[in-house]
Amino acid sequence: MSVDYLSIASLHVEYLQRGKTITALDSVDLSLSQGKTGVIIGPSGCGKSTLFNVLAGLNDRYAGQVLINGQAPRGGGETALILQEYGLFPWKTVWDNVILGLQLRKKTPREIQSQATMILDKLGLLPLAKRYPAQLSGGQRQRVAIARALVLEPKLLLMDEPFSSLDALTREEIQDFLLEIWQETGLTILLITHNIEEAVFLGHRIFVMSPGPGHIEQIVENEMAGDYELRGKIPFLEMCNLLRSYLHRRKKYAAGV
Amino acid sequence: MQQAFKKAEKALAFLASVAILLLLWWLLSLGLKSPAVPLPLDAGQSLLQSLRGELLLHLGVSLYRVLLSLLLATLLAVPLGILLGKDPVIDNKVAPLLYLTYPIPKVVFMPIFLIVLGIGDSSKILLITLITFYQILVTTRDAAKNMKKEYVSSMKSLGASSWDLYRHVYLPGCLPAILTSLRLGLGTALAVLFLAETYATQTGIGFFIMDCLSRMNYEEMFAGIIAMGLMGFFLYVLLDQAEKFLCSWIHL
């Protein structure tokens, strides 16, 4: 039996809001092998972001077991986080945004220079190095966010609705781009999305989450993910429909229909 | 090309404003026929003459007082404002105190400052510091409070320490607000400076103006008024330029 790179068992997270205890996640079990991609899909308020905060080491007040490569999550480790609005700092240039993580890890100026140049070059961002995020298009900003994560050579990449604000065409471009990165680096990727096609295109394993309190409703194995040619093919569409039916069933159930 | 055109247009608008201001002044002076409002040209001449005399010295003292006050206020208010803005637990404890004391016109404490700290520079400087401190503190706190969560999370996920967060997120992110509060605070600081310098002192532009008034030397008095106005203007320009330089990412 292969050991999972990421494994979560009976995760339970509560937080206080105006004196009331709210359960954000309950009995969440999730596992992902090294070098695979997982996608979390579900409606708003199902605790997806809470889950990510735990994985990124931003929240250590949880019950249950969370192991990333056998260790409890912590900030600044082998996990990189890319957030919804990219989390790029508008007051830093592309270059300064990308080198930030290296600076925090106390790399020498020489290492910083060479590593950042390499990654920017690879992602075709070198000509934009001196620009500020506000001077970039949505797709370019997304690439910078990916560059900033990759420059730290992470083992696990967490992406919280990374493509939600991109137009359809750019979105597909960046999805392809992410696939390319994944194939080249062998990263383990866990991604949150609202988009069914995106989930089927990118996720080897799809976790359907439901709210009240947040839990995993269904796990869908989707080994066909990771193929550029997948979009529009019959199995792809069938898988999309299957996933859609899971999500709708859940919705009807919640609405009491 | 277009940018050069825009620049020229801006310069022209500025010159036109100066011309209108001078014209209004000239008309006012003609209408009032009072020695307290001399004609622009006469006033300019007396300003140059006064600058060769004592005025420059007084101006220097005032500049020193106001700059030191603003510096002190910034150094105290910015770290505290960020601390309050990013930590709701501390903020909840301090907020009522701020709420209670913020609306008090601190300038009424001047007599107490004079008694406790004496009539030297320190009472004036600390009074201006106290007043501008509040303005900068409240603005900085609000800016830090409204800092986007994504910025903080993505920084923390990189394993950042509190100091890293401060240096890379809160300080640069709040800087535009801080500089705006400084520009607003500058006006208040100069007003308080003037008031503070009209009592129990022999130096500063405020003293100079009131001293001229009591000696009925209106020409020099007016020169002092213009000098103080120009000082305010140049400090404002300085802050404006500092903002353009330090927050270039806003002016893209």
pLDDT surpassing 90 at residue B210: yes
Q: Is A84 touching B (CB cutoff 8 A)? A: yes
Query: Tens digit of pLDDT for each residue in A101-125?
Result: 999 988 999 999 999 999 999 888 9
**Closest residue in chain B to residue A54, using alpha carbons only:** B157
Q: How far is CA B40 from CA B20, B21, B232, B235, in A?
A: 12, 10, 19, 22
Shared domain check, B170 and B83 = yes
CATH architecture of A4-78+157-255: 3-Layer(aba) Sandwich (3.40)
**What three-state secondary structure class fits A231?**
coil
Q: Is A15 touching B (CB cutoff 8 A)? A: no
Closest in A83, A85, A104 to B160, CB measured: A104
Q: Is B89 touching A (CB cutoff 8 A)? A: no
Q: How far is CA A41 from CA A236, A244, B28, in A?
A: 16, 10, 72
Residues of A with Cβ-Cβ distance to B150 under 8 angstroms: 83-87
Query: Tens digit of pLDDT for each residue in A158-169?
Result: 998 888 878 888
Q: Do B157 and A75 touch (CB under 8 A)?
A: yes
Please tell me the distance from the alpha carbon of residue A233 to that of residue A23, in angstroms, as a whole number. Answer: 40
Looking at residue B71, which CATH number applies to its domain? Answer: 1.10.3720.10
Give the CA dihedral A106, A97, A163, B86, nearest 10 degrees.
Answer: 80
Please tell me the distance from the alpha carbon of residue B13 to that of residue B15, in angstroms, as a whole number. Answer: 6
Residues of A with Cβ-Cβ distance to B175 under 8 angstroms: 91
Shared domain check, B220 and B122 = yes
DSSP A71: B
Tokens of B234: 């140049």
What is the per-residue pLDDT for A205? 93
Measured between CA atoms, how close is A212 to chain B, in angstroms? 24
**Amino acid identity, position B47:** L
Shared domain check, B209 and B125 = yes
Which of B147, B158, B163, B170 is the best mutation test for A, with the most CBs of A within 10 A? Answer: B158
What is the per-residue pLDDT for A131? 95
The ipTM value here is 0.79
Shared domain check, B95 and B28 = no
What is the per-residue pLDDT for A74? 83
Please tell me the distance from the alpha carbon of residue A98 to that of residue B248, in angstroms, as a whole number. Answer: 19
Query: Tens digit of pLDDT for each residue in B8-29?
Result: 899 999 999 999 999 999 999 9
The total of other beta-carbon atoms located within 10 Å of residue A60's CB is: 12
> pLDDT below 50 — which residues of chain A?
1, 257
Q: Which domain holds residue B206?
A: 39-251
Q: How far is CA A8 from CA A12, A221, B134, in A?
A: 10, 17, 48
Give Cα B48 to chain centroid, integer Å: 25
| Helix extents (H) in B102-217 | 110-117, 121-145, 149-157, 162-165, 171-197, 205-214
Please tell me the distance from the alpha carbon of residue B117 to that of residue B4, in angstroms, as a whole number. Answer: 53
Please tell me the distance from the alpha carbon of residue B193 to that of residue B133, in angstroms, as a whole number. Answer: 14
Please tell me the distance from the alpha carbon of residue A31 to that of residue A153, in angstroms, as a whole number. Answer: 22
Query: Tens digit of pLDDT for each residue in B134-144?
Result: 999 999 999 99
The structural domain count of chain B equals 2
Q: Which of A211, A171, A163 is nearest to A48 (CA)?
A: A211
Q: Do B153 and A58 touch (CB under 8 A)?
A: yes
Closest in A91, A101, A134 to B158, CB measured: A101
DSSP A44: T
B118: left (phi over 0), alpha (psi -120 to 50) or beta: left
Shared domain check, B49 and B28 = no
| Residue, of B141 and B150, whose pLDDT is higher | B141
Describe chain B by its helix, strand, coil percentages, rounded to 5: 85, 0, 15
Enumerate the domain spans of chain A: 4-78+157-255, 85-153
Shared domain check, B13 and B45 = no
CB-CB contact of B204 with B62 (8 Å): yes
Please tell me the distance from the alpha carbon of residue B29 to that of residue B35, in angstroms, as a whole number. Answer: 9
Please tell me the distance from the alpha carbon of residue B86 to that of residue B139, in angstroms, as a whole number. Answer: 13
Residue the block writes with tokens 């392809």: A176
Pairing type for strands A205-210 and A37-41 reads parallel
Closest in A87, A89, A91 to B153, CB measured: A87
Measured between CA atoms, how close is A92 to chain B, in angstroms? 8
Q: How far is CA B199 from CA A108, A207, B210, in A?
A: 57, 74, 10
**What three-state secondary structure class fits B198?**
coil
Shared domain check, B86 and B200 = yes
pTM confidence score: 0.83
Taking every pair of Cα atoms in chain A, the longest distance, rounded to a whole number of angstroms, is: 62
Q: Is B153 touching A (CB cutoff 8 A)? A: yes
The H or E element that residue B159 is part of is: none
Which of B148, B149, B154, B244 is the best mutation test for A, with the most CBs of A within 10 A? Answer: B154
What is the per-residue pLDDT for A67? 92
Measured between CA atoms, how close is B6 to chain A, in angstroms? 20
**Closest residue in chain A to residue B165, using alpha carbons only:** A104
Please tell me the distance from the alpha carbon of residue B179 to that of residue B185, in angstroms, as a whole number. Answer: 9
What does the pLDDT average to over B94-110? 90
A106 burial class (0-12, 13-18, 19+ CB within 10 angstroms)?
A: exposed
Residues of B with Cβ-Cβ distance to A105 under 8 angstroms: 159
Tokens of B78: 């910015």
Shared domain check, B106 and B167 = yes
Which of A50, A54, A55, A89 is the best mutation test for B, with the most CBs of B within 10 A? Answer: A89
Please tell me the distance from the alpha carbon of residue B3 to that of residue B252, in angstroms, as a whole number. Answer: 13
Residues of A with Cβ-Cβ distance to B151 under 8 angstroms: 87, 89
Shared domain check, B3 and B66 = no
User: Who contacts B91 (Cβ-Cβ below 8 Å, separation ≥6)?
Assistant: B84, B85, B141, B145
Residue the block writes with tokens 């020169």: B223
Residues of A with Cβ-Cβ distance to B179 under 8 angstroms: none
Residues 166-195, chain B, touching A (beta carbon < 8 A): 168-169, 172-173, 175
Most confident listed range (A75-84, B212-221, B235-244): B235-244
Q: How far is CA A99 from CA A32, A154, B147, in A?
A: 29, 14, 22
DSSP A63: E
Shared domain check, B4 and B57 = no
The torsion angles phi and psi of A217, rounded to 5 degrees, stand at -85, -35
Local confidence band at B50 (pLDDT 50, 70, 90 cut-offs): confident
Shared domain check, B207 and B112 = yes
Q: Do A81 and B153 touch (CB under 8 A)?
A: yes
Closest in B150, B159, B249 to A87, CB measured: B150
**Closest residue in chain B to residue A88, using alpha carbons only:** B151
**Closest residue in chain A to residue B169, using alpha carbons only:** A89
Across A139-157, b (16+ Cβ under 10 Å) vs e yields bbbbbbbbbbbbbbebbbb
Pairing type for strands A63-68 and A37-41 reads unpaired
Shared domain check, B156 and B111 = yes
CB-CB contact of B205 with B228 (8 Å): yes
Q: Is B251 touching A (CB cutoff 8 A)? A: no
**Closest residue in chain B to residue A148, using alpha carbons only:** B158
